[in-house]
Structure 1
Amino acid sequence: MLIRQATAGDWPRIWPFWHRIVAAAETYTWDPATSEEDARALWMSPAKEVYVAEDDSGAVVGSAYVAPNYGGPASRIANAGFMVDPDHAGRGTGRALAEHVLAAARAAGYRGMVFNAVVETNPAVGLWTSLGFRILGTVPAAYEHPRHGLVGLHVMYRSL
């Protein structure tokens, strides 16, 4: 698997799984009806370092970004987002992207990484904890999950 910096030309290969994941409303707090234009602005923002994961055939099977979570004196705490094409789940893409982004954040001088709103039923919670993230707190009944009803949102953190 190749993980590399994304280019503007990668967006058409990211959008199909980005849309599928957000529209499912199971793991991201973004509006399931987000337009492609708004999605591109969210994901491919110039303020973010965006990466893609390609499989052996060159297909983009995942994407991630890292960016400052806060501004000013707290700007050395990163935030990140990760999406893996559901058709390619369970093949290590998420872990590979996470390890790459954590290393890139550390190299860029970030001191820690925080996830502000991890849906507590998201299977990736196990991945994050295995990579050293801990749950700082949970906002109870904050997310209207389409299958589980009201569930909490975790705030997760790890030092870099």
Structure 2
Amino acid sequence: MGAAMTTVIREARADDWPAIWPIIHDVGTEQRTFPYDPAMTECAARGMWLLAPPARVVVAVGGDRVTGTANMYANRPGPGSHVASGSLMVAREARGTGVGRALATDLIGWARRSGFAAIQFNAVVDVNTAAIRLYESLGFVTLGTAPGAFRHPADGDVGLRIMWLDLR
């Protein structure tokens, strides 16, 4: 067995989109971890994911392959702009290999460097135990759960957590 592949996080470039789109499409059509419309078009996904500065979009790269992506931004405008948020997605074949941790750690570093007071994830699916364990291991806590707010294809109506990391 070969050596473990190193994951590098870098700013996304326009030519990364053909590798980002299949990840977003897979996650959306699985309907297990993100409240995205499974019928979302590539054009709609591109507009939603590739946010303009001061937001940031990154890719995780292992070898010559994009293995994950994240975007990060102020959670709300105006009086809520001191709290960051973001979304992280990992390619199906790279799940469980540390790509999610690398993306989350990068997001936390960006939020700190950018002067945000906290990070708030608005909709973590309650049965997405891998993500919840990862976020908790990085210091996030669950502030509350909206019961039944997510229609999971196998588990039925499950909760959506609001998760929080204080950076002060």
- Normalised-by-shorter TM-score class: over 0.9
Match of 2:157 among 128, 138, 150: 150
Q: Does 1:126 align with 2:128?
A: no
1:67 and 2:73 correspond: yes
**Kept after mapping to 1: 8 A contact 2:51/2:71:** no
Report the equivalent of 2:17: 11
Q: For this pair of structures, how many residues does the alignment match? A: 159
Aligned pair partner of 2:86 in 65, 70, 80: 80
Q: TM-score, normalised on structure 1?
A: 0.96
* CA distance in 1: counterparts of 2:160 and 2:100, whole angstroms: 20
Corresponding residue SS for 2:122:
strand
User: Alignment partner of 2:70: what SS?
Assistant: strand
In structure 2, C-alpha distance between the alignment counterparts of 1:131 and 1:44, rounded to whole Å: 25
Structure 2: stretches of 5+ with no match in the other structure: 1-6
Within 5 Å, give how 1:11-160 maps onto structure 2: 11-47=17-53, 48-55=55-62, 57-122=63-128, 123-160=130-167
Report the CA distance between 1:115 and its aligned residue.
0.7
Contact in 1 for aligned 2:11/2:59 (Cα 8 Å):
yes
Cα distance in structure 2, aligned partners of 1:6 and 1:65: 9
Percent identity between the two aligned chains: 42
Q: TM-score, normalised by structure 2?
A: 0.92
Alpha-carbon distance in 2 for matches of 1:100, 1:144: 30
Per the TM alignment, residue 71 of structure 1 is displaced from its structure 2 partner at its CA by 1.0
- Runs ≥4 residues deviating over 4 A: none
